[in-house]
A = this chain, B = another copy of it.
Amino acid sequence: MSPPVPHLPDLRPTIAALPGSQIRAVANAALGRPDVLAFWFGESDQVTPEPVRAAAAESLARGETFYSHNLGLPELRQALRQYLAGLHGDPGDERIAVTSSGVTALMTAMQLLLSPGDEVVCVVPVWPNLPAQPAILGARLTRVPLAPDAHGAWRLDLQRLLQAVTPATRVLLLNAPNNPTGWTLTRDEQQAILDHCRRTGTWIVADEVYDRLWYGDGPAPAAGGARPASPACAPSFADLATPQDRVIVVGSFSKAFLMTGWRLGWLLLPAGLIGPTGTLIEFNSSCAPVFVQRGGLQALALADTLVPPLVAHLHHCRDTLCDALATVPGVHLARPQAGMYAFFSMPGSGDSLACAQALVAEHGLGLAPGAAFGAEAQGWLRWCFASRDPQRLLDGVERLRGALRI
């Protein structure tokens, strides 16, 4: 008897329902078109600095091709502790785990905290990976929307967020500085959120991978004054939380060190969670490659040399793009205080996916549709301004003008 064979694989309904990437849906329209100016992905077009690549190559030449500690090389964990100490004050012992990317760090945090059915509150719009992870684990998501003000700057209704977080809320998921909107939590808002979550017993998972791409003023010193004079950095929950707080902060080498393709990130955890975190890393990926971690070590050693010029360059890119977009009639945007995205609306962007597809197909301009980040951002477009050559940004704006027939 011939066995019955399914026509379509019966994967989990939850997984079948996960949205495909709308950014990919746009980018696919540009396959084989070298004329397209692509600003859709969240990465710079600059190669990782040479000393970082050399450190990895030297590690390979030395033969560092074996398994390593689940939590990362001890020297990298120590270097991260010193790096974070310079930004936020010393986190103390045994609070840092190295992960195979920032998104992996986030998934590890979710696995630590979320049982099936648990409630998660997430501020949106946000890059799609954040709300997808709780769904994969069977948790329930409540979306608290940011909204644009009259100037196109996205704002948080703090009271609405605090009302949404109750003792039934297991995790509050925050990405600030935010991808795609550039919205950033103020120090006062972070303190109010932390105070509230202490009362409700809610965990805060803070995706702060854009912390160094900060064009605002330095944050005010944390209460207690222990925080050292620091490099420029967005306000962080790491400035406020004690080692006993239910706060997990996720960082990454991707954005501030031009290392997107390396897949290297970290977790800053409360005291006492490092053991189970190592166990989860073992069961998900086991460890990050040693030679990749050697690159991370070199990046941290050169942080004071590499990061400030990169941020200054991105600051210039932001102003170049935003100044140019501001001269385009109908374009509505605010200058973001952080991150590497201009987020704007314009005539014809109401269906942002169709608009982005038309922009690439007809004008060779590659942008990400706002709808990729949630229905709340329908009608908006994301433009990554991390470009080695700012002239590319101006060329892109000319194409936008062409699309608008201006």
Residues on A lying within 8 angstroms of B by beta carbon are: 3-16, 18-21, 41, 43, 47-48, 53, 56-57, 60-61, 63-68, 100-101, 103-104, 107, 111-117, 128-129, 132-133, 136-138, 195, 198-199, 201, 242, 244-246, 258-263, 270-273, 275-276, 279-280, 282-292
Known A15-B111, A263-B285, A279-B20; contact A61-B53, beta-carbon cutoff 8 A: yes
Known A3-B199, A116-B116, A261-B289; contact A111-B138, beta-carbon cutoff 8 A: no
Residues of B within 8 A of A18 (CB): 276, 279-280, 283
- Name A115's contact: one of B14, B63, B263 (CB within 8 Å): B14
Is A66 within 8 A of B53, CB to CB? no
Q: Chain B's nearest CB lies how many Å from the CB of A22?
A: 12
Q: How far is the CA of A29 from the CA of B367 in the complex (A)?
A: 55
Is B129 within 8 A of A111, CB to CB? no
- Can you list the 6 inter-chain pairs with the closest CB atoms, starting with the nearest? A3-B198, A116-B116, A47-B63, A48-B65, A57-B57, A53-B60
Known A15-B112, A56-B60; contact A283-B198, beta-carbon cutoff 8 A: no
The binding surface of chain A is classed by DSSP as loop
Is A103 within 8 A of B6, CB to CB? no
22 A-B pairs (CB sep. < 8 Å): A8-B272, A11-B273, A12-B115, A15-B279, A15-B280, A18-B276, A18-B280, A20-B275, A47-B63, A48-B63, A53-B65, A56-B57, A57-B61, A67-B260, A68-B261, A101-B286, A128-B283, A129-B282, A129-B286, A263-B287, A263-B289, A285-B285
Is B103 within 8 A of A284, CB to CB? yes
Q: How far is the CA of A404 from the CA of B250 in the complex (A)?
A: 50
Is B41 within 8 A of A285, CB to CB? no
Residues of B within 8 A of A129 (CB): 282-283, 286
Query: Considering only CB atoms, which chain B residue lies closest to A115 in the complex?
Result: B12
Q: How far is the CA of A271 from the CA of B53 in the complex (A)?
A: 38
Residues of B within 8 A of A56 (CB): 57, 60, 291
Q: How far is the CA of A201 from the CA of B4 in the complex (A)?
A: 9
Query: Considering only CB atoms, which chain B residue lies closest to A135 in the complex?
Result: B283
Is A65 within 8 A of B12, CB to CB? no
Residues of B within 8 A of A132 (CB): 283
Q: How far is the CA of A10 from the CA of B275 in the complex (A)?
A: 13
